[in-house]
Amino acid sequence: MRIASVVGTRPQLIKAAALQPELRARHHEIFVDTGQHWDDALAGSFFRELGLARPDHSLDVGGGSHAEQTATMLTRLEPILLAERPDAVLVYGDTNSTLAGALTAAKLGIPVAHVEAGLRSFDRRMPEELNRVVADHLATWAFAPTPTAVANLRAEGISRGVTLVGDLMQDLAARIGVEVRDPAVLAEVEAGLAAGGVRVGIRPGAYLFATIHRAENRSPAAVVAWVAMLDLVATADRPVILALHPGTAVALSAAGLQPGPNVVIVGPRSYRASLALQMHAAAVITDSGGIQREAAWLGVPCLILRSSTEWPEMLAAPGGGSAGGGSVLVGLDRDRAAVELERLAPSASAPAAARRRAAAFALAPAGAGEAIASALAASTAEPGSAP
């Protein structure tokens, strides 16, 4: 089967790294990078680090508004698909690259395979929610990561072509997590930061790791709120290491704000460094769907800077239990964040807890890559070649 895979962002490269070996073992892949995350810090280094194949086509879209990005992708992707004549177009997740890939393929009559189908935050204000809903309703193959995602699709009348495959990101986290569970890896991370001019001591359980990138957290009011939150929870003995997305850095500058001295701002980290910083942190603070899952798999407490999530399985259950390390939605409420942080990761016990977690780390791969490649292969043996 000739499959055109469309990627464009860091999370999509992580998923592609988990799927690509299985996909190429059974199919002919045409690898297309839209360039939605266009600089080396955001995405370029991921190709090298994760061993991804060189893209067959690079759209070099770069930045812009949602409309500008998506329109450019549509016009640049269409002639590629017409020339390559794939049997299917595979898209990942919920980005503008996902939307453009699914729309272009559907308009050309090419079947769409959607990885991470069925996720819902039920918040239509989020551009990601709109992208994933449209992709699901255009998809011939809906590859769902969780039973909840399958139920969401069924509730919208989508049952044909739905397959529960597990989470691709879990496959990669299981493999790389073993490599970074030794606290000695933090010396490597420190050295990498020092090479970039950032000097900070990193010890297990003695820091917080944060990422902020979503559009709703880039408004002036949101920036004021999360800066105040980070300043409240950061201390000299337990600093916040904030891996700042370039778009969020622009919003921070536009707001004329700068976090206090206990918030250490660094650029986007490599996948390995990011996973290491999560594993050995006292807790994680994020609005990322990918990082909230990784934190849960690693068993690390996580404060989610959102009012809803498409990954409800990762949230703490009533009574304090959770599917992972204890993840809670705190929005931008700084007082609640401080209370939850003290509950989930008390300063006095967090270092010992971090060392125990890392030493006990054992995550089984989901097998999602094999399940997706197998489902696509099986469909080619059936009449009509698609479900």
String of b and e for 47-59 (b: at least 16 CB within 10 Å)? beebebeebebeb
> For residue 316, what are the β-bridge partners?
322
Q: Which two tokens stand for residue 379?
A: 């469909």
Q: Give the other-Cβ count within 10 Å of 335's Cβ.
A: 10
The reply to whether 114 belongs to the active site is no
Q: Are 8 and 95 in contact (CB under 8 A)?
A: yes
The span from the CA of 269 to the CA of 273, in Å, is 6
Report DSSP letters for 275-288, one per residue. Answer: HHHHHTSSEEEE--
Residue 112 to residue 136: CA distance in whole angstroms: 9
In terms of Cα–Cα distance, which of 11, 81, 85, 24 is closest to 53?
Answer: 24
C-alpha dihedral sign at 364, 186, 267, 236: positive
Strand, helix or coil for residue 180: helix
Q: What is the largest CA-CA distance in the chain?
A: 65
What is the token pair recorded at 132? 């994933």
What is the chain's length? 387
Contact between residue 303 and residue 325 where contact means Cβ atoms under 8 Å apart: no
Per residue in 360-379, is it b (16+ CB within 10 Å) or e — as a string?
A: ebebebbbbbbbbbebbeeb
Report how far Cα 326 is from the mean position of its chain's Cα atoms: 18
Q: Which of 27, 37, 57, 213 is catalytic?
A: 213
Would you give the DSSP letter of residue 113? Answer: E
Residues 262 and 259: their CA atoms lie apart, in Å, by: 8
Cα angle for residues 301, 369, 7 (degrees, 5° grid): 80
Q: Which residues are catalytic?
A: 213
